[in-house]
Each structure stands twice: as structure tokens, then as C-alpha cells.
């Protein structure tokens, strides 16, 4: 049956149809729904791992054991999983191993705009790149075949537009596969120097074979247009923009296998036209490949640049000189940035940090919104886990002067992902640092996934829960306090105490995310306009439910969840 | 047939997902190639939310850019104003008159512009402004204002009524179907 499916949903369908048995992933926009969707099929074992490195190692283990397996992540996740990736390239697979990596051209929800094709090239692993949902499903199935035929992991590169656009897909049946036999083969799976040397030779031979395969593979497709005066080489979402902008004005070579790329296919295509445009988002990888193989009638990055998406309007303007007409209002339209939800447990904590004027070594999650106005309570955010290790470095550089007035903040999922090791470093290398774990019992930012602290697994079934207090103590932190961030006074007191202490400490700020279904909320609060003097003290919290009308605060009862922190702020007892 | 573009704009949590699902269902049932595109992630935290729906014989790009939208459906006035540049010459805007203050307005660093419907009209836009929230409350819940706007949309497109009714049946949980059908009818008769 034909259905509209998100690219991610179609990807999951492809995994199911290909007989995939084991899935281990870590969430990250825009890759998350692949794993959430595949978990709905009972034939597939699927889990959230604590981080991408663990996830990829699990999937590789399952592949060696003989089951088709999968691991999904966002682009920066592949940096974390790079270590197993580069050696899995050498060990190869037993049953097929497919990895999804989702790039975020345009940085709709990421901390950088890296081009993950570099990882495929550097690790010498083949990479496929679909352009719509139907291709997502087809490419995944083909990826398993390539993986098994060439003895290699295969990466499928997604992008925000392909992952989060729905297009028409025809579902097919699942191919049920027997486990492949596992034969002990240390020359292949024990990558110590003596064996790894042999495997490196294999990897180089494999790349040659894959390049040959790329010449004739259906993944790369030439679309000749009789009217065309020039050619375009393109990949991924940019293929769709190209077709939309140029129609039959261009002949197109669509690269579906972005590593390794064909040689003769490109040379022959480029020889047909005087001018070839290369329309690829982010880095100029196809373009560089063209130059490397002596194809020099190409233009790409000098026209389109390295930043963001290359949508149809840009292509039409740069190549055809056409621009769409539009009107806009001569009016200042205020921006609408994302904000922490009404009743978000992170708000109270950040309010206290702002009030105390401390330096905040931040991390990635919903709480990164604490960096925005009106809280403005974050100094750094680099990558997952960097809050804790970064604070340690900051304190080692500046000593006691900063130790008593700086903290690290990190979410529960992020702490499990890569914060723990930083805390071990603080205990081991003896820094007087204060770490705050924002335990909202969920992975909020990426759309509410379970994690090792929540007591549930990906399928929603009960699971072991890490006890954060005991874990921190076992790591060697003697001072561990738990506070409720809905109680501002208690929270502020705890932060002051731990900043004053002369040893490392952890504060666990514990309160479940306000959007979780099981959370029971208090009835909404309202402002007594007789009592409100319009001092705007409550506005400093940045709760989206509070606004000011006619110089008095008003609370939107449809948004308010009755957390009560604004009431605690009001000196005139106007909030009830 | 030339590809047509619909844009749905609003604020995170206003129900654009259901709206795009209903439209997608209608279009697919009419035999079109369809693409629906949305950006997940940060936008869920009360930020601006944009969804694109494109249909035709063969749709390539899933996104709608400035000057390309045949129809813009908006759940919130400020977002309607923000979306104006996306409207194609001769395109239509359907908007709820609801206003939700964004954080810069809440914190007092910016003002919510007034008389936006008039300003949009004098900029030449074909605007249908509807008090979708009140109509939805009449139907039973403020949450159905997205479906009220679907009713308005249906009155501006030439698809048979039963196609929309089928789409509602397929996209809305049975528990809420009657209520949503009421909301749809109220919008259709605006
Ligand atoms: C290496 C890496 N993997 C995944 C992500 C995507 N991501 C951003 S924040 C986050 C987790 C947030 O959860 P948590 O720490 O519990 O904080 P919350 O959002 O619940 O406040 C994830 C998975 C990322 N930015 N980097
Ligand atoms: S989803 Fe939860 S943790 Fe994230 S901002 Fe909203 S209330 Fe806070
Ligand atoms: S009680 Fe106050 S701070 Fe909490 S959600 Fe309601 S309005 Fe916002």
C-alpha cells in the first residue's frame, strides 16, 4: 500500500523489510524517529544506548554474531562513535551492519554544521545518500547487501530535509533471515597489529572494488535532458532542489553513493557538456573528487558556498538569474525563539544561578535555553559532556577564585552519555568543582526518549534505573545533595553551600519534565490585579505563561501548570 | 499540472501536525504526488513552527520559499505577518486572529504589532481572518481550532466534501471525531 512516510519512518521500514534484528542507537535530531519507528516492529530488538560509541559497538557485536544490525545517530554522534567506526572498517562484518548519520544542513537543531561525508572517506567505509522517503527504504535494503557482499559497515547519510519530509512509499514484506553462522576468526575480528596489517590491505582492495561497483550501481543515476545546455552533478536533498529549479534545462548526474565515488561515470558525463555545475550542500567533496580525476569543467563552491542549504531559489538565481517576487510588511515583526515550557523544572534552577551571578559551564539539552533572555545564565556550550570536563579545566586555570563561583550544569541523559567520565576526572584529579545534574527523568530536547536513569527502556517497559546519588558517591564525590527546583529558596541555599565548600560536590536538581504524561500538575495560578503593583519580578523567570497587560501581570491559564515559582517571587502576594 | 504549495504556520503545540496530516490525506486520495515537510526539534519549545505541503504530478523540493505559496494557513497573527513574503502573487492567506506573545514581547524588548489583518490587506494579500479559537470552543474545545481552519481551507479548494470527511475519519481518533467534524463544519461555513 502507498503511504506518506517521513524519511525516517521509511528508513525504519527498510530496516524491517531487510530482516534487521538488532538496533542500538542514541537519539539526536534529525535521526531519532528511525529508531523510535523501528522499535514498533516486534520482530526487531531495539534499544537506546547511553551514547553513540556504545550503540555502534552493540550493533557491530550483533553483526559479528550473525544478525543484520543497525545503529542511528545525528552527525555529531558519529564523532563520538568514530573510534569503533574506523576499526569496524577493518574488521568488516558477518551479517550486514548499517549506520545512519543525519546531517543538519542549515543547523535547524544542532551545535555545528559538519559534513559527515568526511568520516566515510577517512574511515574508508561506503556511504549512501537518499533524496526522498522511497529512496530511504530502498537504499537501506541495498546497504545491507553491500555490507555483506563487500564485508564492510555501510553508512547511510540522512539530512534534516530528507529525514523530516514525508513522501510516498510503497511498503513491502519483511525478508526473514536466519542468523548467519558465527565462526571464530581472530584474523578478522581481533584487531591487534599483526592482524590489522592484513586487514588494511583488504580495506584498500575493497575500496577499489567499491569504486568499480559505483560505476554501474543503480545508486548513481544519469538523467539526460535533450534540451540541456549544461550538466549538474548533485546528491541528497540538493537533487530535489536542482530538479525543481532547473527542470529539463539541465542533465543531471545524481550521486547516490557518495563514498567511494565513480570515476569513469563522472568523466563521461562531464565530457558531454561544456559546463558542469556541482550542487552539493556543505563541503565541496564531489567537486574535489572531480578535480582529482581530471574533470575540470566544474563549478561549485565558488558559486554556492559552504554554508547551509542550497534550496531551489538559490539555484534558480545563481544559474538562471531568475528571482521570485514577493511582498513583506514594513513592520518590525518580533522573533519567536524557542523557550523552556511553562513549568519547566530547569527554570527555577537557572533563575537561582542568574541571581547568584555564577559562571555556568553549560551543556546540551532543553536546559541550553537557560542561555537565552531573560535568564542569560550560561557561559559555554560545546558538546555533550563538555560542561563537567570544561569546568574542571576552567577551575584548574583560575584556581580558587573561580572554584567558589562557577558551576557545571548537565542533563540526566547527557550525564549518562559522557558526563560521568568528566566527573571521574574531577574526583581523581582533585578539583573543587560544583556540578549540577538537571534530572528531569527524560531526554527532553530530542522529544522525550527514555535513558538509563528513567527506569524504562525504549519500548516503554520497566528497566533498571541508575541511582545518580550512589553513582556520584561511588565515583568519589562525598558531597551530594538533592534539591527540588520548584523550591527556589532551597535550591539557592544548596548552590551557595556547595560553592562555599572546599571539595568537589554534586547537586541533583530533581523534578520530572513538565510535559511528561504521568506528571500531575497543580491547578493554574492567577494574578490578583488589585494586589499586583506591576513590579515585573515574576517576569524575570521567563515563563511563557506570564505576560503584562495594562501594567499588570497576567497568567495564561491554558499554559500555566501551577509550578508555583512565580508565586514565590511575588512580594505582594498577588499570585494565587 | 504545475506543483502547488501550501504553507502552515503557527506556534509550537498549536496542532499543525494534524492539519498537515489531514491535507496530505486529502491530496493523496486525489491521486497527486505529495510531499509534506516540517522541522522538528527546537521548534517544539514554543518557537515558530512551519510546515510545507506540496502537491502535483511530480513534486521535487519538499520546501516552500519566498513568493511560492499558493495558500498560507496560519494559527497565529504574528506568524501570519511573518509568512507574508512566502505568499505567491495572487495567493490566499487563511488566518486565525489568535495572538500569542513571543518572549521578546513578554520581556518587553519588543512590541506586538497592531492591526495586522488590515496591514496585510493593504499590502495586497487576499486574507480570510477567522476567530478560529471561539469557533473551536463552540464545537467543544479550543484545541480544535486547527480543524476549524481546515474547514475554511476546504471552502477554498475544489475537492468534494466526502474526501475531507474521509480524511478527518482517518486522522482524528474516534473519540474526538464528532467534535472535530463540528469544528470543521463551522470553519467551512465561515
Ligand atoms: C553527540 C551528540 N549526540 C546527540 C545529541 C543530541 N542531543 C542534544 S541534547 C540531548 C540530550 C538531552 O537530554 P538531557 O541531557 O536529559 O536534557 P533535557 O533535554 O532533558 O533537559 C541529545 C540527545 C548531541 N547534541 N550530541
Ligand atoms: S520539554 Fe520538559 S525539560 Fe524541556 S523545556 Fe519543556 S518542560 Fe523543560
Ligand atoms: S505557576 Fe507561574 S511560573 Fe509556574 S507555570 Fe504557572 S505562570 Fe509559569
Q: What is the CATH number of the domain that holds B91?
A: 3.40.920.10
Distances A62 to A93, A152, A184 between C-alpha atoms, Å: 9, 14, 14
Nearest-by-Cβ selection for B78 from A327, A333, A373: A333
Domain co-membership, A9 together with A41: yes
Helices and strands of chain A, counted as H and E runs: 23, 21
Contacting residues of A for B15, CB less than 8 Å apart: none
State residue A318's pLDDT score.
98
Looking at A492, A510, A528, the residue that finishes a domain is A510
pLDDT over 90 at B82, yes or no: yes
State residue B65's pLDDT score.
97
Pairing of strands B33-38, A165-170: antiparallel
Please give the share of chain A, as a percent, with pLDDT higher than 90: 98
Q: What is the pLDDT of residues A127-169, one digit of tens each?
A: 999 999 999 999 999 999 999 999 999 999 999 999 999 999 9
- Could you tell me which residues come within 8 angstroms of residue A52 by beta carbon, excluding any fewer than 6 positions away? A25, A26, A28, A71, A73, A77, A78, A80, A81
The CA distance from A474 to A468, in Å, is 10
Cβ-based contacts under 8 A for chains A and B: 173
Q: What is the pLDDT of residues A414-442, one digit of tens each?
A: 999 999 999 999 999 999 999 999 999 99
Per-residue confidence at A2, pLDDT binned at 50, 70, 90? confident
Domain co-membership, A188 together with A237: no
Pairing of strands A434-439, A406-411: parallel
C-alpha cell at A213: 561497483
Pocket test of ligand 2: the residue of A338, A346, A560 to mutate, having most ligand atoms within 8 Å of its CB, is A346
Taking an 8 Å cut-off on Cβ atoms, the answer to whether A4 and B34 are in contact is yes
* Structural domain contains residue A338: no
pLDDT over 60 at B149, yes or no: yes
By C-alpha distance, which of B5, B137, B11 is closest to B66? B5
Per the CB < 8 A criterion, the answer to whether A61 and A472 are in contact is no
Per the CB < 8 A criterion, the answer to whether A366 and A444 are in contact is yes
User: Which residues is A48 bridged to in the sheet?
Assistant: A25
Domain co-membership, A10 together with A112: yes
The residue of A326, A513, A542, A545 whose CB has the most chain B CBs within 10 angstroms, and thus the best one to mutate to test that interface, is: A326
Per the CB < 8 A criterion, the answer to whether B7 and B69 are in contact is yes
Other CB atoms closer than 10 Å to residue A183's CB: what's the count?
A: 9
Per-residue confidence at B108, pLDDT binned at 50, 70, 90? confident
The CA distance from A81 to A85, in Å, is 6
Q: Among the atoms of ligand 3, which is closest to the Cα of residue A514?
A: 5
Taking an 8 Å cut-off on Cβ atoms, the answer to whether A544 and B46 are in contact is yes
Distance from CA of A543 to the nearest CA of B (A): 9
Q: Among the atoms of ligand 3, which is closest to the Cα of residue A541?
A: 3
Pocket test of ligand 3: the residue of A563, A567, A568, A570 to mutate, having most ligand atoms within 8 Å of its CB, is A563
- Please state the rounded mean pLDDT for residues A339-346: 95
Q: What is the pLDDT of residues B151-175, one digit of tens each?
A: 999 999 999 999 999 999 999 999 9
State residue B45's pLDDT score.
74
Distance from CA of B26 to the nearest CA of A (A): 12
> What CATH code is carried by the domain that includes residue A454?
3.40.50.970
Measured from the alpha carbon of residue A26, the closest ligand is 1
Taking an 8 Å cut-off on Cβ atoms, the answer to whether A446 and B63 are in contact is no
State which H helix or E strand residue A337 sits in.
Answer: none
Buried-exposed string A250-262: b where 16+ CB fall within 10 A, e elsewhere: bbbbbbbbbbbbb
The CA distance from A278 to A231, in Å, is 9
Distance A561 CA to ligand 3 centre (A): 6
Distances B78 to A335, B111, B130 between C-alpha atoms, Å: 9, 11, 14
Pocket test of ligand 2: the residue of A515, A521, A559, A565 to mutate, having most ligand atoms within 8 Å of its CB, is A515
Per-residue confidence at B38, pLDDT binned at 50, 70, 90? confident
Q: What is the pLDDT of residues A474-520, one digit of tens each?
A: 999 999 999 999 999 999 999 999 999 999 999 999 999 999 999 99
Please give the share of chain A, as a percent, with pLDDT higher than 70: 100
pLDDT over 70 at B43, yes or no: no
Distances A361 to A339, A372, A392 between C-alpha atoms, Å: 20, 14, 10
The CA distance from A94 to B4, in Å, is 47
* Structural domain contains residue A182: yes
Q: What is the pLDDT of residues A213-269, one digit of tens each?
A: 999 999 999 999 999 999 999 999 999 999 999 999 999 999 999 999 999 999 999
Q: Where are the beta strands (DSSP E) in A171-229?
A: 221-223
SS3 B24: helix
Distance A470 CA to ligand 2 centre (A): 25
Per-residue confidence at A121, pLDDT binned at 50, 70, 90? very high
Distance, C-alpha A306 to centroid of its chain: 20
Per the CB < 8 A criterion, the answer to whether A81 and A52 are in contact is yes
Domain co-membership, A231 together with A85: no
* Structural domain contains residue A442: yes
The CA distance from A185 to A123, in Å, is 22
Buried-exposed string A34-46: b where 16+ CB fall within 10 A, e elsewhere: bbbbbbebeebbb
Domain co-membership, A147 together with A46: yes
> What CATH code is carried by the domain that includes residue A553?
3.30.70.20
The CA distance from B51 to B37, in Å, is 6
The CA distance from B126 to B94, in Å, is 9
> Atom 4 (ligand 3): residue with closest C-alpha?
A563
Nearest-by-Cβ selection for B40 from A166, A334, A447: A447
Q: What range does the domain containing B174 cover?
A: 4-188
The residue of B15, B46, B122, B127 whose CB has the most chain A CBs within 10 angstroms, and thus the best one to mutate to test that interface, is: B46
SS3 A22: strand
Q: What range does the domain containing A302 cover?
A: 221-320
Q: Is the pTM of this model over 0.95?
A: yes
Domain co-membership, A50 together with A142: yes
Distance A344 CA to ligand 3 centre (A): 9
Taking an 8 Å cut-off on Cβ atoms, the answer to whether A240 and B60 are in contact is yes
How many structural domains comprise chain A?
4
State residue A1's pLDDT score.
75
Per the CB < 8 A criterion, the answer to whether B74 and B94 are in contact is yes
Window 86-145 of B, Cβ < 8 Å to A: 86-89, 101-113, 116, 119-120, 123-125, 142
Is B36 part of the contact surface with chain A (CB cutoff 8 Å)? yes
Per the CB < 8 A criterion, the answer to whether A453 and A50 are in contact is no
A493 burial level (CB within 10 Å; 0-12, 13-18, 19+): middle
Per the CB < 8 A criterion, the answer to whether B26 and B167 are in contact is yes
Contacting residues of B for A164, CB less than 8 Å apart: 37-40
Per the CB < 8 A criterion, the answer to whether A431 and A406 are in contact is no
Mean pLDDT of chain A: 97
Question: Which single residue is written with the C-alpha cell 581530471?
Answer: A294
pLDDT over 70 at B42, yes or no: no
Contacting residues of A for B65, CB less than 8 Å apart: 311-313, 324
Whether ligand 3 lies within 6 angstroms of the CB of A236 is answered as no
Phi, psi of A514 (to 5 degrees): -65, -15
Other CB atoms closer than 10 Å to residue B159's CB: what's the count?
A: 14
Q: Where are the beta strands (DSSP E) in chain B?
A: 4-11, 33-38, 48-56, 69-74, 87-96, 126-130
Taking an 8 Å cut-off on Cβ atoms, the answer to whether B35 and A166 are in contact is yes
The CA distance from B8 to B18, in Å, is 11
* Structural domain contains residue A330: no
Residues framing ligand 1 (Cβ under 6 A):
A 26-28, 74, 76-77, 80, 364-367, 384, 411-414, 438, 440, 442-446
How many structural domains comprise chain B?
1
Domain co-membership, A487 together with A566: no
Contacting residues of A for B112, CB less than 8 Å apart: 334
SS3 B15: coil
ipTM: 0.96
Per the CB < 8 A criterion, the answer to whether A338 and A314 are in contact is no
- Please state the rounded mean pLDDT for residues A29-38: 97
Question: Which single residue is written with the C-alpha cell 542468523?
Answer: A179
Looking at A168, A197, A216, the residue that finishes a domain is A216
* Structural domain contains residue A328: no
* Structural domain contains residue A331: no
The CA distance from B46 to B13, in Å, is 7
pLDDT over 80 at A273, yes or no: yes
Domain co-membership, A205 together with A279: no
- Could you tell me which residues come within 8 angstroms of residue A190 by beta carbon, excluding any fewer than 6 positions away? none
C-alpha cell at A93: 562484518
Q: How many alpha carbons lie under 13 Å from residue B43 in its C-beta half-sphere?
A: 19
State residue A274's pLDDT score.
98
Distance, C-alpha A173 to centroid of its chain: 30
The CA distance from A344 to A370, in Å, is 11
Distance A541 CA to ligand 3 centre (A): 9
Domain co-membership, A395 together with A459: yes
pLDDT over 90 at A558, yes or no: no
Contacting residues of A for B86, CB less than 8 Å apart: 326
Per the CB < 8 A criterion, the answer to whether A307 and A301 are in contact is no
Domain co-membership, A232 together with A265: yes
Other CB atoms closer than 10 Å to residue A173's CB: what's the count?
A: 7
Pairing of strands A298-299, A276-279: parallel
Amino acid at each position: 500500500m502507498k503511504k506518506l512516510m517521513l524519511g525516517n519512518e521509511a528508513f525504519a521500514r527498510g530496516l524491517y523489510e531487510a530482516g534487521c534484528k538488532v538496533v542500538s542507537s542514541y537519539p539526536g535530531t534529525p535521526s531519532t524517529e528511525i529508531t523510535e519507528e523501528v522499535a514498533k516492529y516486534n520482530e526487531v530488538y531495539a534499544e537506546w544506548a547511553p551514547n553513540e560509541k556504545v550503540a555502534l559497538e552493540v550493533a557491530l557485536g550483533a553483526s559479528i554474531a550473525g544478525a543484520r544490525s543497525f545503529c542511528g545517530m545525528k552527525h555529531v554522534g558519529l564523532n563520538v562513535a568514530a573510534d569503533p567506526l574506523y576499526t569496524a572498517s577493518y574488521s568488516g562484518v558477518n551479517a550486514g551492519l548499517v549506520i545512519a548519520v543525519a546531517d543538519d544542513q542549515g543547523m535547524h537543531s544542532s551545535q555545528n554544521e559538519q559534513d559527515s561525508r568526511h568520516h566515510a572517506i577517512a574511515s574508508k567505509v561506503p556511504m549512501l545518500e537518499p533524496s526522498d522517503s522511497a529512496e530511504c527504504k530502498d537504499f537501506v535494503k541495498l546497504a545491507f547487501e553491500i555490507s555483506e557482499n563487500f564485508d564492510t559497515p555501510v553508512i547511510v547519510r540522512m539530512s534534516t530535509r530528507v529525514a523530516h519530509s514525508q513522501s510516498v512509499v510503497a511498503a513491502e514484506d519483511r525478508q526473514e533471515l536466519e542468523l548467519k553462522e558465527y565462526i571464530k576468526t581472530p584474523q578478522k575480528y581481533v584487531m591487534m597489529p599483526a592482524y590489522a596489517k592484513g586487514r588494511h590491505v583488504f580495506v584498500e582492495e575493497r575500496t577499489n572494488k567499491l569504486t568499480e561497483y559505483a560505476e554501474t550501481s543503480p545508486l548513481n543515476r544519469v538523467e539526460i535532458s535533450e534540451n540541456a545546455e549544461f550538466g549538474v552533478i548533485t546528491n541528497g536533498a540538493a537533487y530535489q532542489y536542482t530538479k525543481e529549479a532547473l527542470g529539463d534545462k539541465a542533465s543531471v548526474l545524481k550521486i547516490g553513493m557518495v563514498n567511494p565515488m565513480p570515476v569513469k561515470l563522472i568523466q563521461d558525463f562531464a565530457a558531454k557538456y561544456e559546463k558542469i555545475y556541482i550542487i552539493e550542500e556543505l563541503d565541496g567533496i564531489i567537486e574535489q573528487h572531480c578535480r582529482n580525476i581530471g574533470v575540470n569543467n566544474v563549478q561549485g563552491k565558488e558559486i554556492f558556498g559552504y554554508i547551509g542549504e542550497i534550496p531551489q531559489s538559490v539555484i534558480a538565481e545563481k544559474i538562471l538569474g531568475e528571482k521570485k517576487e514577493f511582498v513583506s510588511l514594513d513592520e518590525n515583526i518580533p522573533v519567536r525563539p524557542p523557550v523552556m515550557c511553562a513549568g519547566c523544572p530547569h527554570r527555577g534552577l537557572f533563575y537561582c544561578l542568574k541571581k547568584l551571578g555564577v559562571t555556568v559551564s553549560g551543556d546540551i539539552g532543553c536546559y541550553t535555553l537557560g542561555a537565552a533572555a531573560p535568564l542569560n545564565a550560561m557561559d559555554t556550550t560545546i558538546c555533550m559532556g563538555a560542561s563537567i570536563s570544561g569546568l574542571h579545566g576552567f577551575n584548574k586555570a583560575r584556581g580558587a577564585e573561580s572554584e567558589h563561583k562557577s558551576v557545571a550544569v548537565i542533563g540526566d541523559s547527557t550525564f549518562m552519555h559522557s558526563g560521568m567520565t568528566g566527573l571521574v576526572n574531577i574526583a581523581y584529579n582533585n578539583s573543587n568543582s560544583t556540578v549540577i545534574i538537571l534530572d528531569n527523568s527524560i531526554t527532553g530536547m530530542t522529544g522525550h526518549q527514555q535513558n538509563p536513569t528513567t527506569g524504562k527502556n525504549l519500548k516503554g517497559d520497566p528497566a533498571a534505573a541508575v541511582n545518580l546519588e550512589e553513582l556520584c558517591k561511588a565515583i568519589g564525590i562525598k558531597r551530594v545533595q538533592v534539591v527540588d527546583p520548584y523550591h527556589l529558596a532551597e535550591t539557592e541555599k544548596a548552590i551557595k553551600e556547595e560553592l562555599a565548600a572546599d571539595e568537589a560536590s554534586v547537586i541533583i536538581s530533581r523534578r520530572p519534565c513538565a510535559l511528561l504524561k504521568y506528571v500531575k500538575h497543580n491547578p493554574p495560578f492567577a494574578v490578583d490585579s488589585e494586589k499586583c503593583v506591576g513590579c515585573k519580578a515574576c517576569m524575570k523567570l521567563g515563563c511563557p505563561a506570564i505576560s503584562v497587560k495594562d501594567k499588570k501581570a497576567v497568567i495564561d491559564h491554558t499554559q500555566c501548570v501551577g509550578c508555583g515559582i512565580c508565586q514565590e517571587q511575588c512580594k505582594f502576594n498577588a499570585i494565587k | 499540472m504545475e506543483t502547488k504549495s501550501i504553507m502552515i504556520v503557527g506556534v509550537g503545540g498549536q496542532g499543525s501536525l494534524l492539519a498537515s496530516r489531514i491535507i496530505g490525506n486529502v491530496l493523496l486520495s486525489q491521486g497527486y504526488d505529495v510531499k509534506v515537510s516540517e522541522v522538528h526539534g527546537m521548534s517544539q519549545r514554543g518557537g515558530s513552527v512551519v510546515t510545507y505541503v506540496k502537491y502535483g504530478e511530480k513534486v521535487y523540493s519538499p520546501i516552500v520559499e519566498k513568493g511560492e505559496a499558493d495558500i498560507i494557513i496560519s494559527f497565529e497573527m504574528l506568524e501570519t505577518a511573518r509568512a507574508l513574503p512566502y505568499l505567491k502573487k495572487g495567493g490566499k492567506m487563511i488566518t486565525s486572529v489568535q495572538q500569542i506573545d513571543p518572549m521578546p514581547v513578554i520581556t518587553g524588548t519588543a512590541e506586538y504589532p497592531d492591526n495586522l489583518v488590515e496591514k496585510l490587506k493593504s499590502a495586497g494579500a487576499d486574507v480570510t481572518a477567522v476567530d478560529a479559537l471561539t469557533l473551536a470552543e463552540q464545537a467543544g474545545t479550543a484545541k480544535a481550532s486547527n480543524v476549524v481552519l481546515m474547514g475554511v481551507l476546504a471552502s477554498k479548494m475544489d475537492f468534494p466534501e466526502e474526501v475531507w470527511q474521509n480524511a478527518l475519519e482517518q486522522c482524528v481518533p474516534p473519540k474526538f471525531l464528532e467534535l472535530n467534524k463540528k469544528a470543521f463544519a463551522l470553519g467551512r461555513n465561515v
